[in-house]
Amino acid sequence: MTANSMTTEISKEQQEEKESLNLFYSTQTVIQKALGKLGYPNEMYELLKEPLRLLTVRIPVRMDDGTVKIFTGYRSQHSDAVGPTKGGVRFHPEVNEEEVKALSIWMSLKCGITNLPYGGGKGGIICDPKKMSFRELERLSRGYVRAISQIVGPTKDIPAPDVYTNSQIMAWMMDEYSRLREFDSPGFITGKPIVLGGSQGRETATARGVTICIDEAAKKKGFNIQGARVVIQGFGNAGSYLAKFMHDAGAKVIAVSDVYGAVHDPNGLDIDYLLDRRDSFGTFSQLFKNTISNKELLELDCDILVPAAISNQITVENAANIKAKIVVEAANGPTTLEATKILSERGVLLVPDILASAGGVTVSYFEWVQNNQGYYWTEEEVDEKLVKVMVHSFETIYETAQKHQVDMRLAAYMVGIRKMAEAASFRGWV
Ligand code: GLU
């Protein structure tokens, strides 16, 4: 190999890594591969590579100081071949069109994996909820529902919580929708407070789903959760409940982090103390003197690593240094495609995001079913059903990976896209 071709080689790899950092692009790449493996023609890829619909809205909100601020929001609906679309709404300063589109495709895949009668949707508003008052957030939430009301509804597209949105925001949104339609519409949105038709177990569902995946993955790797060392990046809804569940199951949670940094104790952290001291955005690390960085946290010696924060955390830069036996992606897109390859070559069992984080939408589906029938289940019933769905999904993907000799991510895409492709074929779209 000449020096020149070496240079091109390196820059090609760098180019691939750069591209795999783009969530939308990397999702399309894996969808194309998955459909190819399943034997679908290119038209199917052309249909499914982009959302069917993307609505951009501008929402005027009267701020507490009397001024009016205009916020931009989105709702993306990937595919309604299987049924109504479903997915959360995030409030975040970095929300953008590409991300919302990619996330709606992921919702389709999550619903496919768990065999729910939905396609994927996702919404977002560009805002910084940390800097907004309670009443400003209420006006923004209601304004968003008015702006998107024509394309959503219990049989069209069902929103839910996501990054920095919670059951209070779902309650305002449900109330606004019910007022617009002039009848009570609990099935319009999921993740509501229990008293407004929320489901038992919804609040903890994402973390429960991750816990079930960890159990299954540990069985495959032949080790016990009891005493296993767990590292969790992020202490939001998924990360914090997961830390609690792992701690209660007898695992040793040795490090957790928030946006500012991480706390680490090889003997295990006092999770109840952290839960007690964190603020409503899950931050706690500023209370501690000795912290390590999020980057250092990922490379700690441990058995189970759970990235539960943001995307692109495990990349070509650090994939070779990850010491965990299993990586369970509770966040969306925490590992790039190049890093996925490196982990898989190194024998690390990676449970991909679209499987690991599917517990939330699964219990959202249970909530919607309960709303539609007006009959409510106990927490035990919800949990039992969730375990069934998650274990079955895990097994199907694991077997698909073995059978086709592919990594768990590609296997998850194959399982996730299959039902949608089949439905689109039966409808005569392709
Ligand atoms: N926002 C969650 C997710 O990304 C939940 C979506 C839902 O419950 O519909 O899976």
pLDDT tens-digit profile, the chain (430 residues) = 334 444 445 566 666 666 566 889 989 999 999 999 999 999 999 999 999 999 999 999 999 999 999 999 999 999 999 999 999 999 999 999 999 999 999 999 999 999 999 999 999 999 999 999 999 999 999 999 999 999 999 999 999 999 899 999 999 999 999 999 999 999 999 999 999 999 999 999 999 999 999 999 999 999 999 999 999 999 988 999 999 999 999 999 999 999 999 999 999 999 999 999 988 777 898 889 889 999 999 999 999 999 999 889 999 999 999 999 999 999 989 999 999 999 999 999 999 999 999 999 999 999 999 999 999 999 999 999 999 999 999 999 999 999 999 999 999 999 999 999 999 999 999 9
The residue to mutate among 213, 241, 361, having the most atoms of ligand 1 within 8 angstroms of its beta carbon, is 361
Give the burial string for 123-160 (b: 16+ CB within 10 Å, else e). bbbebebeebeeebbbbbbbbbbebbeeebbbeebbbb
pLDDT of res. 7: 43
Does residue 114 line the site of ligand 1, with CB under 6 A? no
For the record, the structure tokens of 351 come out as: 């449970």
CA 145, chain centre distance (Å): 22
Residue 290 Cα to ligand 1 midpoint, Å, equals: 34
Does residue 360 line the site of ligand 1, with CB under 6 A? yes
Residue 182 Cα to ligand 1 midpoint, Å, equals: 26
Does residue 160 line the site of ligand 1, with CB under 6 A? yes
Residue 5 Cα to ligand 1 midpoint, Å, equals: 45
List of domains in the chain: 51-183 (3.40.50.10860), 205-356 (3.40.50.720)
Does residue 88 line the site of ligand 1, with CB under 6 A? yes
For the question of residue 252 being annotated catalytic, the response is no
Q: Looking at ligand 1, which atom is closest to the CA of residue 88?
A: 1
**CA atoms in the 13 A half-sphere facing the CB of 105:** 25
C-alpha span between 213 and 394 (Å, rounded):
7
pTM over 0.85: yes
pLDDT of res. 1: 37
* Angstrom distances, CA of residue 45 to CA of 28, 33, 103, 311, 420: 9, 9, 17, 24, 11
Q: Is 279 exposed, middle or buried (0-12, 13-18, 19+ CB in 10 A)?
A: exposed
pLDDT of res. 14: 65
Does residue 122 line the site of ligand 1, with CB under 6 A? no
Q: Which of 102, 115, 331 is nearest to 206 (CA)?
A: 331
C-alpha span between 3 and 67 (Å, rounded):
61
